[in-house]
Homo-oligomer: A and B are copies of this chain.
């Protein structure tokens, strides 16, 4: 059964393990299309509206590519303020009007509640492309899909996974969403390594513990790197700091570089990051001296966003059945 059919996709809490596995299987089938080696017209005639009330180039382009590679067309709007909203229009009116034009909407909005109001006002499916400090469910999907892919290559099982999340765990909504998805598996060990003022919120640690998983919290970067299957780094998101926090810096370094990895990481660990990473020297982020380390999975991870989002669209719009029979080889140059 396809529990996503016709649904708004607003939160990771909507997914169960069965749906997640179905989505990953579909993403595997769609990989050649996602990577430009084949194409399909399964969504020929369908039109997606893309509404980014907050800029996020990579997320927007990944959704664009996913929908277009299914054979659909996309109409995009970007910019912090919409002309009609400035004129006193409610977010519900905006959503209701625009939903009359399209078959599916992708929305990113800086306010956490806006996407819920919009979904309430419309009858077409709405996909959450990031709602303020709330969730980013498709990022979590592509993250879990990446772990699934890498583990398959390394002969590991998702159950029993040891995953560390490092850096800004307070404002980093991608890690909040990923904890929820990973908690669907069995016996996960989460290590949350962050400066104390950027700790994982308690409702997230509770979420994991209630489902029987192990949670370790630390302010030592090395504990995040040591003995973990997945090292998930994040950028310190100063732009989300509240007033008075702007000048705070971690007392201990959270820069992950080759020497840290060589000293502490497992031979078959995978290093992930939701990107963008801060590549400036001395940033408390993933160093680019790791770019030739095969454990660095960050680009395989961002590449995985297209098949994962394609699979999501296919399930939400009910074109997942027999999709493999619609795939034809690409006629153009493939690297």
Contacts and interface: CB of A to CB of B under 8 A. Distances in A.
B84 A75 contact: no
A319 B306 contact: no
A47 B74 CA distance: 12
Interface in A304-335: 305-306, 316-319, 328, 330-333, 335
Nearest to A334: B103
Nearest to A50: B75
Chain A, interface size category, equals: 35 or more
Contacts of A38: 45
B42 A331 contact: yes
A36 interface: yes
Nearest to A329: B45
Nearest to A326: B331
A125 interface: yes
A16 to B, nearest CB: 20
A305 B45 CA distance: 18
B97 A299 contact: yes
Q: Is the interface of A mostly helix, strand, loop or mixed?
A: loop
A40 interface: yes
A109 interface: no
A93 interface: yes
Contacts of A36: 46-47, 102-103, 124
B332 A89 contact: no
A44 B58 CA distance: 23
A278 B317 contact: no
A331 B306 contact: no
B46 A88 contact: no
A216 interface: no
A61 B39 contact: no
Interface in A146-183: none
Contacts of A94: 276
Given A65-B75, A88-B283, A276-B93, A317 B302 contact: no
B299 A62 contact: no
* Most B C-beta atoms less than 10 A away, residue of A6, A56, A76, A93: A93
Contact of A278 (B69, B87, B316): B87
Contact of A333 (B44, B85, B316): B316
B93 A279 contact: yes
Interface in A48-82: 49, 55-58, 60-62, 64-65, 68-69, 71, 73-77, 82
Given A100-B303, A275-B84, A335 B61 contact: no
B335 A6 contact: yes
The 6 closest A-B pairs by CB, nearest first: A39-B45, A88-B278, A89-B276, A84-B276, A65-B101, A64-B75
